[in-house]
Every structure is written in structure tokens, then in C-alpha cells.
Structure 1
């Protein structure tokens, strides 16, 4: 992860839980809060309910790799905490990747989503001006 630091301390996670906005889907829960910095900070939490340490490490690696592959598409300046649900232990990389992308779109953190959304608004404004 070239551009992203990790959230490591308990107080960092608690801050994001308390101040952040959460959205969930089948595999993951994501909390996001602005941090006012140049880059993002990512924290990944996988509970012991998910499985033993080998399984938890595998799920963590899947999430981290999915994030790494789309890191350049993510808007900077946010603290992000991703929590894996129990069903995530049986998920493939593609399912985790799709879930993570879905949550980032819901939080409007993907640059491509933001740019497309702004272009649509501009097109609507142009149509309204022509009338």
C-alpha cells in the first residue's frame, strides 16, 4: 500500500467507530471519517468469530489486497476501518473485492464514481439552461 498508512492503535479505531459513518453489506462493514491529511489510513478488523488465526489472516490479506489494487481510485484524506463479517471466511477474492468496491461507492470515496456523478450533474445543468 503505497499511499495508505495503517491504523494500529485502539484509540485510532475507537475514534473512527465513534465519529465515522458506517455502511455494511453481506461480507464487510466499513466506517469512514475525514482525517484532514494528505493520505488515507486503513484499519482492518477480523474478529475471532470468523475463525482461527490462519483464517483471520487470510481474510485480512484478501481485504488488504483488494484495497491495494484500487488504492489509486480512492479519494485521499480519510480514515477507513473495514470489519469482516463471519461469512467473509468462505468468500473468494472477487467477492471481497466487489464488496469493498460497493462500500467505497456507497461512501462516495471512489474517484471514478465522484467524477461520473459530477459529469451527470453538469449534463443536467446544461439541459436545464437550454430550456
Structure 2
């Protein structure tokens, strides 16, 4: 995933968490606000385990999002927050992202 679409600043995350809307699926929560460009961030809490597990979850989320990027409208800031689960795999996360994107009407 390109570095230019990643959300990195704490103020951007705080803005999205405070003023953004939410969409839920079985494994993910999506916070979003409408903006002038597409940006995405991933927030994985320490409740998910050690740094190795949290980084693995973020890698799965990034790869899932990368496959949807060409089909999304380009005017949103997204933050994905995974729910606590025993196991995360790429196919389940892709299904959950697809469900969220359809529910929020984010496809082109």
C-alpha cells in the first residue's frame, strides 16, 4: 500500500474517532469521514496481544484494503479497528471489508 494514502498523524485519528461515522461487521469496525482524498489508518489495541500479533493483524488489514483500493470512491478518511477475536485470516477480513464497503456505499 502506498505511503501517501496512510493516516499517520494522531490529530487525524482523533478527528475521525470524534466526528466520524461508524459501520460495524462481525470482525471490524470502520470509522470514516468525508474528505478531499482517500486515506486509511489501522488502530489495533494492546488487548489483541503482543506486538508480533498486533503487527500481523495490521499486515492482514493492509493487504485486504489494498485489494479494494481501485474500486473505492476517493474522498474518505477510513480507520479500521478490528474486534477481539481468536484468529484473523485474510479471507474473513476481506469478506468483512466487502460487507462494510457495500453497506456504506463506498464503491464507485
TM-score range, shorter chain: over 0.9
Aligned residue pair count: 108
Structure 1 residue runs of 4 or more that deviate by more than 4 Å after TM superposition: none
Aligned CA RMSD, in angstroms, stands at: 1.5
Q: Greater RCO between the two (CA within 8 Å, min separation 6)?
A: 2
Q: Which residue of 2 aligns with 1:73?
A: 71
Structure 2 gap ranges (5+): none
Q: Which residue of 2 aligns with 1:42?
A: 40
Bigger Rg, structure 1 or 2: 1
Contact 1:46–1:83 at 8 Å: present in 2 too?
yes
For residue 3 of structure 1, report the CA deviation from its aligned partner: 8.8
Within the alignment, does 1:7 sit opposite 2:4 as a pair? Answer: no
Higher helix content, 1 or 2: 1
Within the alignment, does 1:96 sit opposite 2:102 as a pair? Answer: no
For residue 2 of structure 1, report the CA deviation from its aligned partner: 4.3
Q: Which residue of 1 aligns with 2:54?
A: 56
Contact 1:45–1:84 at 8 Å: present in 2 too?
yes
Q: TM-score, normalised by structure 2?
A: 0.93
For residue 41 of structure 1, report the CA deviation from its aligned partner: 0.4
Q: Which residue of 2 aligns with 1:83?
A: 81
For residue 25 of structure 1, report the CA deviation from its aligned partner: 1.4
